[in-house]
Amino acid sequence: MDFTIKPLSTHLGAEVTGLNLNDALGDNVLGAIKRAWLDHGGFLVIRDQSEMTTEAHIAFGAAMGPLFGAPDQDPLQDTVSRYIHPDYPEIYRVSNKLDESGEPLGRKGAGTYWHSDVSFREQPAAASILHAVEIPDIGGDTLFANMTKAFDELSPAMKETLRGINAVHDFEVAARTQYATPIVVENDMAGANQAVHPLVRTHSETGAESLYVNPGFTSHLEGYDADESCWILEPLYAHAIRPENIYRHTWSAHDVVMWDNRSLMHYAVADYGDAPRYMERTTCIGERPS
Ligand code: OGA
Ligand code: MN
């Protein structure tokens, strides 16, 4: 298959054209996509997937790694189970639309804070793969911050200090400030929504070190009290989200974006009022961060 890869910024992201995810993709093509993704900082947009079936989305996701929601892979009930597609447990819906009975179809305002998907699990997300089915005419971009570059730009002394720290991630951090406390309470199974991870993680496929904390889900640093944790975390967040460290994705309909939660944070910009937006996501279960 003949597809083209074009960088989207100097430090993060590339665009793929000429690829049809509905085709049965062989190992060579899948390997080439994976390599291009890792080579471009863990962000690829595969354009023009208007023909992609839900089954093809799931098959592509599963080729990139075991999927959250897949009955054979993910024994945990998902924290946000009501937003799972009723016919496809691997598909998580991000949307502001309502279903026939007036219930939210997806999680409105999901991700309107800097975060890395499901970092509150012991094995958080590696790739998230988001299909833009319906997008507003204007607005609804998603921002991505390069946490490998952010770490790389620190001094050797700061890097060494941070390598020794663990961070506590807790879904309730987002739930308290954002949405749906009842959902967390309902599904707050033993430890499922809380995890401790190193503040600096080493990518299992590239070997690169990244900052692995995020304002959405990181509650505090192990052994530090809440204020002290902020003294360390807030300047790191400010450093990570400088404009030079960000790629801003303006969606076209039927973009399929694959990002790496091990090395990026992202933020959904909620600037489109009530204009309908509907996205479907598959999410790969990653390794335990180390
Ligand atoms: C997500 C997410 C961002 C967006 O799907 O994990 O944060 O812009 N989405 O919808
Ligand atoms: Mn997200």
Delineate the domains of the chain, giving CATH numbers in brackets: 4-285 (3.60.130.10)
Q: Is the CB of 133 under 6 A from ligand 1?
A: no
Written as six digits, the tokens of 76 are 């945990």
H or E element: which one contains 91?
Answer: strand 88-95
Pocket test for ligand 1, best of 90, 94, 141, 249 (most atoms within 8 A of CB): 94
- The angle that helices 54-64 and 27-39 make with each other, rounded to 10 degrees, is 70
The two beta strands, 88-95 and 84-85, are antiparallel
Per-residue pLDDT at 149: 98
Q: What's the CA angle centered on 39, arms 110 and 16, to 5 degrees?
A: 70
Per-residue pLDDT at 282: 96
Q: How do residues 85-143 score in pLDDT, each as one tens digit?
A: 989 999 999 998 988 888 777 766 678 899 999 999 999 999 999 999 999 999 999 99
Q: How far apart are CA 226 and CA 248, in angstroms?
A: 31
Residue type, 184: V
- Kindly give the number of the ligand 1 atom that is closest to the alpha carbon of 266: 7
- DSSP annotation of 83: G
Ligand 1 centre and the CA of 110: distance in Å?
Answer: 6
- Kindly give the number of the ligand 1 atom that is closest to the alpha carbon of 268: 8
Q: How do residues 260-286 score in pLDDT, each as one tens digit?
A: 999 999 999 999 999 999 999 999 999
- Torsion, CA 39, CA 40, CA 44, CA 46, rounded to 10: -70
- Kindly give the number of the ligand 1 atom that is closest to the alpha carbon of 117: 6
Displacement of CA 130 from its chain's centroid (Å): 9
Residue linked to tokens 């910009």: 269
Q: Is the CB of 118 under 6 A from ligand 1?
A: no
